[in-house]
Structures are given as structure tokens and as C-alpha cells.
Structure 1
Amino acid sequence: MNTPFRFKLQLAPFFPYLHSILTPSFPRCLWRGNLSQPEIALTFDDGPHPEYTLELLKVLDQFQITASFFWLGQWVEQYPEIAQAVYQRGHWIGLHGYQHQSFPFLSEIELKQSLEKTQTAIFKACHLEPELILDVRPPNGFFLPQTLELLTAWGYRPVMWSVVPEDWLHPGVNVVTQRVIKQTQNGSIIVLHDGYFGGKDVAKTVQEIIPKLLEQNYRFVTISKFWQSAKPMI
């Protein structure tokens, strides 16, 4: 199994401030939805996983929530039936690279191949045409201006986040839930993980988060809906 680089530091308290700095600096990325609408997007990175993703799907089914999944191509190839189960439920599908490698560490050719290889894996598993899989979330949230230039030149749409509870560090379901509830506002893009890192508690976490956010009258939408109201990329 590929062992990806991960943040080990506890940075959760700083992400809201970092988000406010990065958002205007990189308008080519989708950082959030419409602030005037009580709509939020629940997104999941690093899957599909044969256990964690299936547990997660049961919770999403229970509340009839449609989410967005950013997949690693290597796991789509290994677990195509799990990928198909996600897609058949109408969840939105995006790319997270073939392996969990930070994009700035890849050459231009390697990055392009990583994305195209993942698109091909998704097509084989779900019969979703590659030209319809355009949303890309960089692993670890790492990118450079050159990374964005390449992604947009190739026709991809960079997707980031506004609520990052650091579930991959396993701080516990209660801590992750509290962070999400505290930070969520209109247009929030919440990032959780259903892969090998962070996925162990994802179903329990979502079971706690969804009803609390519904009580606050938020509506769950996909990343596709957020793009519809986004300003054109510069």
C-alpha cells in the first residue's frame, strides 16, 4: 500500500484564518459556495475504501444526503464495486490524483498522467466519461500558481475547502464534530476522509454532524451546485 505524506501537526485552529488569506489570493479555486444561501457541501477524500466507504454510504442513505467524493485512482482500480456503489447513488465524483502525492512534487507529465489514469479507472468502474470528471482537489491541499495554471489549461476545475477538522489525525468523533459545527456557515465546503487515513471514524462522525446541521436549516448540495453560482475563473 502506498504510504502518502500527511500533515502531522495540529493545525485545525489555524485553517479558518488560512482560508481567509488564500481565498482571495487564488480565485481560480472553488473555496466555498454562495454565502447568501444556507447550502453546504459535504466532501470526502482518499476513497474508495472497502469498509469505511460502505459504512459512510449507509449514513448518507439514512439521511438522503448527496455528497461529493474525491477519489484516488489506485483505490478505484482495486475496489471498483465500491466506486460503483457510490456513483450509482448519485454522489458527485472528483479527482484526488492516482496516488496521494502532492501535485507540486510531480512533473507536468506525471501530474497529467496521474489525473488521466484516475479518470480512466473511474470510467472502467462507473462508466462515467472522463470529460465529465473535471473537479480536482490537490492532496494535502498543496498547490502552486503553476499547478493551477496547468489544471485550468487542461480543463480541470480546482476544488478546495473551507472547513477542515483534521479527521486524519484521529482527534475523536466529538472533536471533529465540534470543529465542523463551529466553523460551518453558508457556502461551507466541509472536507472529511473515507480512506485509510481518517476513514475509521467517518461514518460515526457524519452520523453526528448531519442531524446537527439539518437542525440549523442547512441544505446539503454537491460541488456541482456550487460551481453553478461561482464567479468565472480568472
Structure 2
Amino acid sequence: MQFAPLYPILYRVLKPCFPGCLWSAPTERTATDRSSSVALTFDDGPHPEYTPALLEELDSLAVPATFFCLGRSVSRHPQWVRAIDRGGHGLGLHGYEHRSFPSLGRDRLQESLARTRSAIARACGWDLEQVARRVRDVRPPNGVFTPQVLRWLREWNYRPVMWSVVPEDWCEPGVSVVVERVLAQVTDGSVIVLHDGYYGGRDVVATVAALVPQLRDRGYQFCLIDEFWSRWETARDRRS
């Protein structure tokens, strides 16, 4: 069963209830910066076939993206994590396995995130201090979290990242359907979720190839999640 029509409603309900998560970027602009931007994000990789093809497509389009990786996949395919980093893309955590965070409990969740960081550190040749500084963003599998999970993430100095546009590409409804869903929902500051793993990854290159030119035609630029956090922090400071 597909739930694509429900995700825009969930976003509008949950975003104000959990303001400590990054759901989308604030849209405040300076007098000299009135451009619109979106963040392309990819979950569940790296995959040995889909991720390298996706990286090649992103490079050809000159589009930066943020990849929320599964630790087990990082351990199996470290070369593609290195390629993500060397391509100028962002890295985030999706847990070591695709398990609901609330089901893990405190200790197992902390271990899952730490193991994923360690796998990324080995893949990229970083020490643990570097990976702790550079990889702070966490997206819960299936978007499932509780207030307690968010408190733990903040306590451990992680940054929870959610979404505002979820076209449900993992159900493989077809490239044209995924693109239509994104274009119907996208606004300035949107965080778009696609997948380069076993579910959804088969169509990800074709989806990106079709989607990016249409977003550019609408005037959108592409940002990393880290840039959206900077905008979020600037907006917070203005309010305080």
C-alpha cells in the first residue's frame, strides 16, 4: 500500500511539533540573496550498482547531494563512500541496519550510530575525531522517531534530519510518477528524499536525470544539508 498523499500532511503536522529537527530550510533571504534552493538527499546506500551510476549522473549535472548511509552497506562497499566524499557530497547516518530507532533502545541505538561512523571513518581514511566533526546528521529509517530518540540524538551531538518531500520512490511507481510527485510538492527550502539502496535505487538515476533539469527550469539551486543547517541556525539566532 502506498501512502504518498499522506506525507505532505504529515510534514505540516510534525514540523511545528518537533522544531529541533531539520524538516526544511527557512526561507528568509537577504536583499542580495533571493534564490530558491532545495536539498537532494538519498537514503539506504551505498549500493554497488546504483550508487556509482548515481554519482556519475550527479557529477554530470554538477549537483551536490547528501547521502544517509547504512553502516552495513558502508562496510561492504567502502569505495563508494569514498567516492561520495570526494565528489563533494555530504554524508549522514541512517543507522547500521535499516531498523526503527525506537525499537533499538538507547544503548543499541548509540552503538548503531557509532558503528556507522566507524565504518565511514575507515572508508574515508579519517580518524574518529574527524568523523565525529564531519558526520553529525542522522535520518531515522522510515522517518520513525520519538521525543526520547530526539533527546538522545541531541545528547550525543547528532543533528536529526527529516524531510518535506517524500515521493515514495522505494515502491517503484515509475520515474514519471516520482518526478510528478516531487514537482507537485517542492517549494523553496524543500528536503527531497530519494533512495539509492535496494528499494528505489533501480530508478534513481533516471529520476534524477529527469527531475534536476525541471527543478532548474523553475529556478531552484541545489544545496547540501549542511548548508540548510547554517540557514536554520541563522534564522534561529535572528529570532533570539
Q: TM-score, normalised by structure 1?
A: 0.94
1:67 corresponds, among 54, 65, 68, to 65
Aligned position for 2:152: 150
> Shift in Å at residue 62 of structure 1?
0.9
Residue type of the alignment partner of 1:31: W
Structure 1: tracts of 5 or more residues without a match? 1-8
CA distance in 2, matches of 1:78, 1:177: 30
Aligned position for 1:45: 43
1:58 corresponds, among 56, 59, 70, to 56
Aligned-partner SS, 2:229: helix
> Shift in Å at residue 57 of structure 1?
0.9
Structure 2: tracts of 5 or more residues without a match? 29-34
2:165 corresponds, among 159, 163, 166, to 163
Aligned position for 2:20: 28
1:19 corresponds, among 11, 20, 33, to 11
Runs of 4+ in 1 over 6 A off after TM superposition: none
> Shift in Å at residue 59 of structure 1?
1.1
2:119 corresponds, among 118, 121, 135, to 121
Query: What CA RMSD, in Å, does the superposition of the two structures yield over aligned residues?
Result: 1.4
> Shift in Å at residue 130 of structure 1?
2.1
2:220 corresponds, among 218, 221, 227, to 218
Aligned position for 1:130: 131
> Shift in Å at residue 35 of structure 1?
2.4
Residue type of the alignment partner of 1:141: G
Counterpart mapping for 1:178-217 below 5 A: 178-217=180-219
Greater shift after overlay, 127-136 or 72-81? 127-136
Task: State the Cα deviation string for residues 73-116 of structure 1 (Å, max 9, x = none).
Answer: 00000001111111110100000000000100002110000000
CA distance in 2, matches of 1:197, 1:69: 15
Aligned-partner SS, 2:46: coil
Percentage identity across paired residues of the two chains: 50
Higher helix fraction (1 or 2):
2
Residue type of the alignment partner of 1:221: C
> Shift in Å at residue 127 of structure 1?
2.6
- The number of residues matched between the two structures is 226
Aligned position for 2:32: none
1:93 corresponds, among 82, 88, 91, to 91
Aligned-partner SS, 2:7: helix
